[in-house]
Structure 1
Amino acid sequence: MARNKKMKVVYTFPSTVQALRMEQCCKQEELDGRLIPVPKQISAGCGMAWAALPDARVSLEEMISREAIEVEGVYEFLL
């Protein structure tokens, strides 16, 4: 059975350290999302990305700014 794809916002990182820091901060602040392998449609330095529903984008970007997490790219597409 095929999985229904949903629009997601995807953050990529220059290093695994930044990706893991994103995961830790999101868990602490109870923000939506999870670590995933970087989708084949994009390339990133560390091979890990954070995926969340688009309605979480503002909260995520506020946290990224506040915690000074280094983000390589931000994308929106169906996953």
Structure 2
Amino acid sequence: MRKKERKIVITFRTTAEAIAMESQCQKEGIPGRLIPVPRQISSGCGLSWAMPADWEGDIGPWLEDRGLRWDKIGEYFI
């Protein structure tokens, strides 16, 4: 069984928002990947972005500066 790690998880209302996040992160070299929304979180679409909890940036303002939309941001063990 894989050990759970603390991650920042960002959920989205639509798949298009999740794909836009993935595209922007790839463009800027932001670590993370799209994953199915973890069971302990509810969301409008089935995708979420998981990234290292120790990422040095502040993800909320980063998202806003790029015009990206999201539903919730939180830290979870996944």
Structure 1 residues 17-72: Cα deviation after superposition (integer angstroms, max 9, x where no partner): 11000000000000010000000101101110000111226253343111111110
SS in 2 for 1:74: strand
Number of aligned residues: 78
Counterpart position of 1:15? 14
- The whole-number CA distance in structure 1 between the counterparts of 2:21 and 2:61 is 12
- For structure 2, which runs of at least 5 residues remain unmatched after alignment? none
SS in 1 for 2:17: helix
- The whole-number CA distance in structure 1 between the counterparts of 2:66 and 2:6 is 25
Could you say which structure has the higher helix fraction?
1
Counterpart position of 1:30? 29
**Root mean square deviation of aligned Cα:** 1.4
Counterpart position of 2:71? 72
- The whole-number CA distance in structure 1 between the counterparts of 2:28 and 2:59 is 10
Deviation above 4 Å: which 4+ runs of structure 1?
none
- For structure 1, which runs of at least 5 residues remain unmatched after alignment? none
Cα pair 1:31 1:60 within 8 Å, conserved: no
SS in 2 for 1:9: strand
- The whole-number CA distance in structure 1 between the counterparts of 2:71 and 2:56 is 15
